[in-house]
Structure 1
Amino acid sequence: MDETTVLNYIKDLPLYENEKPYHIFAAIPRDAKRTNIEYERGPGQPIVDIRGRESQFTLDKQGFTFQRWTPPQLDWRNEQEIIEIYFPEVKKLLCELLSSTQDVRRCELFSWRVSCFLLSWAGTDIRQMRSAASKVSTFSPTDVENMVKVIPVRYVHIDNSPAGIIDWMRQTYGIDEATRLSKEYRYQLFNIWYPLVEVVVDKPLAVCDAQTVNHSDLVEIYSISENYPRRSFMVKYNPNLRFYYLNRMTREEVCIFRIYDSFKPDLLGVPHAAFNHKTPGVGPPRESIEARILVFSERR
């Protein structure tokens, strides 16, 4: 069922012409400013349900796809099982999906996290998100605290900017190897989003058709922890943006969407956000896991 809802966007402030938008998730002095980012609610806009016509939406065109898929059974409370059982299956799924159009040489786990909506969308949530995010390391998939549950993100964003991906590669592989990989291979970053509840009836995922996004819609922001600054994009409101979702998504379905493709830099990543159903269904709060996978393929 199609929905009309309100999404949250970054304000287009003149400040950002001279000062990078930032949010500090580390400890700071009492009188220091944690963020200079301001948000605004967009007008009511349609979120179109694609249930029944999933095949019309592809990674190459809109930048996202919904697939039928069920991972092996595992204990989702056990971090080791997620790392040893789930992530290899995610990599296999993605490689199989891409293999018809490219020669995949390497898949790396870039980052991951579990999201769960437990509280209201009031200021308490923001504090919970800040507290959890300050403990999570994006650079190491085996860091403790990856299991800290962060609330679903309610503002429209793209997980990582191109510069942020290069930052990660340099941090992970070293500058020389990162330079070699980025020159020798086509590299792409994808988000594999999987629900951990039987049916998503609360705060579903809305994904934007990447064809409707302009470079001018994106604002690069810095998320600063104690270890490193992470760069991503927030999105300014544009009436041309077109959003979609899969109504009542189940644990037999997965959403895969593009964050970046070095081979097609003008084909942008997929903005996305959680949104409120007009009439939420009866069921548990939304809980999901997302894994970001960096893929290296032969240049063609």
Structure 2
Amino acid sequence: MATDAHTQLRYLEWQPSYTHTRPYRISTYVGRRRKGKNKAKHQPDEGEGEGEGDNGDEKLPNTNLVFRKSEHAETIHDIRGSVEQFTLDTNGFAYIRCPPPAVTRAWEYSDPKKIEDVFLPECEAILRRGVEGADEVVIFDWKIRKRKSAKERRTRNPNLQGFAKQVHCDTLLTRDEIGTPIMQRIRNHLPEESHHLLSGRVQLINLWRPINAPVEDHPIAVCDGQSLDASKLLETDMIRGAYTGTMLYPLFEPDAKYRWCYMSRQEPEDVLLFKGFDSMQGQVKYTPHTSFIPFISPPSTRPRVSVEVRALVFTHPMEREYT
């Protein structure tokens, strides 16, 4: 039975300073706190709080991003049991039913052998099945999302992150100059294969699934690409140590008519795929998404633990047009 949810989502709010200063966020991963004058502070990741970064004695703001909640409750449509067919090309996202994951406990994701031998091959197989024309799949990032303990916040672990709490579109983080376009980033880091790979279709696909269930704590909402005006997405520089990327945020608009969707009580077998980029003309290019807290939730919810993977999916050249 479908159970639509209602909530207020957080959007990037336009600031007059953006006319002369490009929006940005600087995040750094830190280890245990160091004694002495220049203590390293925990920096917020996507979806965490905002603060300041240390630069010796001089404190510089780590972001000029300002977020605000929607003024009115938004409906997050439950697609469970829906007769409507959602596809990556038409809507920017799709749910596919898969066997349960082989790695089922969060602590197992600290085992590099299991990641390389079991987890990533399983994800690649899902992407090849779920993305039409997936000739080559290059997984470049994965992480566990959960509510982090105080000890976990003090530990350097880029593969363990909190929930993303603002509406956003994912980015490709590489060691390139700020503002480098995604296609150029691929050329820089896959120089031998890039001529062949970039002559066809290129997609950035996010694979998201819970590893405990059902999801009632901070479910994920995805925006139907048919309701998105991509010209209203604002580019934002993301900087993490030596890595840079360009995150996209839909701007806050009081009368925006976004159509939001989710799957109630999502199980590990319910795998969500959604787009971060697509080079093919005439298809949905981006999928804004976020975790959210429904106004009405069960009185006691099991803390959500989920896993997400980001991959470049290449389709060999065909008689189609690419940008």
Q: How many residues align?
A: 275
Q: CA deviation at 1:241?
A: 0.9
Q: Equivalents in 2 of 1:10, 1:118: separation in Å?
A: 24
Partner of 1:114: 144
Q: CA deviation at 1:55?
A: 5.3
What secondary structure does 1:184 align onto?
coil
Q: String of CA shifts for 1:161-194, please: whole Å, max 9, x gaps.
A: 79553354245324x654x146422111100001
Question: Which of 40, 46, 53 in structure 1 is aligned with 2:68?
Answer: 40
Q: Report the AA paired with residue 299 of structure 1.
A: P
Please identify, of 79-88 and 199-208, the stretch whose mean Cα deviation from structure 2 is larger.
Answer: 79-88
Give matches, 1:1-300, under 5 Å: 1-26=3-28, 28-29=54-55, 30-43=58-71, 44-53=73-82, 56-74=85-103, 75-78=105-108, 79=110, 80=112, 81-99=114-132, 102=133, 104-118=134-148, 145-147=157-159, 149-160=160-171, 165-166=182-183, 168-174=185-191, 177-178=193-194, 180-181=195-196, 183-238=198-253, 239-264=256-281, 267-281=284-298, 282-300=300-318
Partner of 2:48: none
Q: Equivalents in 1 of 2:271, 2:294: separation in Å?
A: 20
Q: String of CA shifts for 1:80-112, please: whole Å, max 9, x gaps.
A: 21332121111111212234xx3x331100211
Q: String of CA shifts for 1:43-64, please: whole Å, max 9, x gaps.
A: 2211111110165211121111
Please identify, of 165-174 and 208-217, the stretch whose mean Cα deviation from structure 2 is larger.
Answer: 165-174
TM value normalised by structure 1:
0.83
Please identify, of 287-296 and 265-274, the stretch whose mean Cα deviation from structure 2 is larger.
Answer: 265-274
Residues 190 and 259 in structure 1, CA contact (< 8 A), matched pair in contact too: yes
Call closer, same or farther: CA 1:14–1:177 in 2, change over 3 Å. farther
Q: Equivalents in 1 of 2:302, 2:185: separation in Å?
A: 35
What secondary structure does 1:60 align onto?
helix
Q: String of CA shifts for 1:29-48, please: whole Å, max 9, x gaps.
A: 14222111111111221111
Residues 116 and 150 in structure 1, CA contact (< 8 A), matched pair in contact too: yes
Q: Equivalents in 1 of 2:16, 2:101: separation in Å?
A: 49
Residues 71 and 86 in structure 1, CA contact (< 8 A), matched pair in contact too: no
Unaligned runs of 5+ in 2: 29-52, 173-178, 319-323
TM value normalised by structure 2:
0.77
Q: Report the AA paired with residue 314 of structure 2.
A: F
- Percent identical pairs in the alignment equals 28
Residues 5 and 296 in structure 2, CA contact (< 8 A), matched pair in contact too: no
What secondary structure does 2:266 align onto?
coil
Moved beyond 4 Å, runs of 4+: 161-164
What secondary structure does 1:113 align onto?
strand
Please identify, of 199-208 and 275-284, the stretch whose mean Cα deviation from structure 2 is larger.
Answer: 275-284
Q: String of CA shifts for 1:253-272, please: whole Å, max 9, x gaps.
A: 11111111111376331100
Q: Report the AA paired with residue 290 of structure 1.
A: E
Residues 114 and 146 in structure 1, CA contact (< 8 A), matched pair in contact too: no
Q: Equivalents in 2 of 1:156, 1:167: separation in Å?
A: 26
What secondary structure does 2:216 align onto?
coil
RMSD, aligned CA: 2.5
Residues 54 and 66 in structure 1, CA contact (< 8 A), matched pair in contact too: no
Which one has the largest radius of gyration? Answer: 2
Residues 117 and 152 in structure 1, CA contact (< 8 A), matched pair in contact too: yes
Partner of 1:142: none
Q: CA deviation at 1:294?
A: 0.6
Q: Report the AA paired with residue 159 of structure 1.
A: D
Unaligned runs of 5+ in 1: 136-144
